[in-house]
Structure 1
Amino acid sequence: MVQVVQASQLTLHDVETKFGLGFESSEDFFPEWQVAPLALDDYQTRVLDQAQASFRYLLAYPVHEELVKMVVISPLLSVAGFYQRPFRPIAEETTEVAIKNDDELIRGRVDILVLNDQIWVATIEAKGPQFSWHVGLPQALTYMVSGAQPTNIRFGLVTNGTDLVFIKLAKETGQYGLSKTFSIFNPGNELHTVVAVLKTLGTNP
């Protein structure tokens, strides 16, 4: 009998063991996130600055995961051009991955996918600010492993609203790496650099 396991129940150890993944800390493994902020126009700058200011304000109150998507992720995708051709965002997409020899099926719902001709440019997993971004890492990796896109290299983004971390996965080798932690509390507005990374991933799916 096949046992169904929810992706949200998996720990990072579970994910690394089940899928044969290993963390790669070399800077050479994940150069795609190491980009400079783009020259944004006045409107784009205002959108990102407002997103940062709004989320900082909301943190004085209980913040649900849906607000992370609305206040932080949606402006990022808009400024990055992911609401326009050739991209197509999909929210709450169900994904499944079967574990060989374990009679186990892992099932979950990806918060947001951004597709470009059926290639997943980014898998975005959002959590509330009461959680560390680490909580979303096992789920994001599970979705990246399970995706049917033809590319070996896959990218993801996990955020709790205050911190944002990019993920790179080489599916053939099982290696994955992480970007630095971008934060809305760091000096300036690092959402500008996050947009630059998203655009880089969009042009190199």
Structure 2
Amino acid sequence: MTISIAIAEKITTLRQVEEKLGLILSGDNQFFTEWMADLPALSEAEQTRLEQVRQNYLYQISDGSLLEETVKMVVLSPLLELAGFYQAPYRFKTEVSVDIVAEGDNDEILRGRIDVLVLQGKLWIVLIESKKTTFDLELAIPQTLAYMAIHPNPEQPLYGMIANGSSYLFVKTLGKQYGISDLFATRSQYFNNLSGVLRILKHLGRIIIES
């Protein structure tokens, strides 16, 4: 799969996503139900492991913001392993890295980076690294959609998870439409937490294999 870095770097807002790529946010509440419906249950062992991941994250973040490699080791890698993505029949492909920039307080420039792993060509795992602070996931949505929009088969449903270690969003594109899930958080114990993230990953993994 060939990705045009120039396109992704120039798409920094949702307005540009709509104007330059022709994508529109779906108004159909049935467009992206995959993150809500028919999610697999987790075993007690999986739930125990996720709680350990959560505790590991809270311990590491207590010293300040986490760099990319720490986020990968502490949070992302355990999630992908529990979802079964390191085993057959799944295959990962590493794509490009792109810088994202946001204006902070006192005219500071906050810089981050997104790395993309593509699973089976249909599930995009997007990790944001922040050099200064925890980036709002909203900053990575336009570039994630830009990657997905220039997929060679845009008429097939594509899915993505955007993560920065503390928070998670899921996105879907199909044709010229896209949808976005609610926000999930590592810190949360009860609602929209790591258990929800893992259940969605398992469900999306099953969908892309079956399709």
Q: Provide the TM-score with structure 1 as the length reference.
A: 0.78
Q: Which residue of 1 aligns with 2:107?
A: none
Q: What does 1:75-114 align with in structure 2 at a 5 Å threshold?
A: 75-91=78-94, 93-94=95-96, 110-114=115-119
Alpha-carbon separation, structure 2, partners of 1:4 and 1:70: 26
SS in 1 for 2:30: helix
Q: Which residue of 1 aligns with 2:25?
A: 23
SS in 2 for 1:157: strand
Amino acid across the alignment from 1:113: V
Displacement after TM superposition at 1:69 (Å):
2.2
Aligned with residue 158 of structure 1, among 152, 162, 185: 162
Amino acid across the alignment from 1:166: F
Amino acid across the alignment from 2:74: V
Displacement after TM superposition at 1:37 (Å):
5.8
* More strand, by proportion: 1
SS in 2 for 1:111: strand
Q: Which residue of 1 aligns with 2:65?
A: 62
SS in 2 for 1:77: helix
Alpha-carbon separation, structure 2, partners of 1:150 and 1:26: 19
Q: RMSD of the TM alignment (CA)? A: 2.6
Displacement after TM superposition at 1:193 (Å):
1.6
Displacement after TM superposition at 1:180 (Å):
0.9
Alpha-carbon separation, structure 2, partners of 1:110 and 1:126: 5
Which region of structure 1 is more displaced relative to structure 2, 160-169 or 150-159? 150-159
Amino acid across the alignment from 2:12: T
Q: Quick check: 1:110–1:143 contact (8 Å CA) kept in 2?
A: no
SS in 2 for 1:144: helix
Q: Quick check: 2:96–2:116 contact (8 Å CA) kept in 1?
A: no
SS in 2 for 1:27: coil
Q: Quick check: 1:125–1:157 contact (8 Å CA) kept in 2?
A: yes
Q: Provide the TM-score with structure 2 as the length reference.
A: 0.76
Q: Quick check: 2:7–2:146 contact (8 Å CA) kept in 1?
A: no
The unaligned stretches of length 5 or more in structure 2 are: 98-112
SS in 1 for 2:173: strand
Amino acid across the alignment from 1:195: L
Amino acid across the alignment from 1:144: M
Alpha-carbon separation, structure 1, partners of 2:69 and 2:116: 10
Alpha-carbon separation, structure 1, partners of 2:58 and 2:9: 27
Sequence identity (%) = 32
Q: Quick check: 2:17–2:145 contact (8 Å CA) kept in 1?
A: yes
Displacement after TM superposition at 1:26 (Å):
3.4
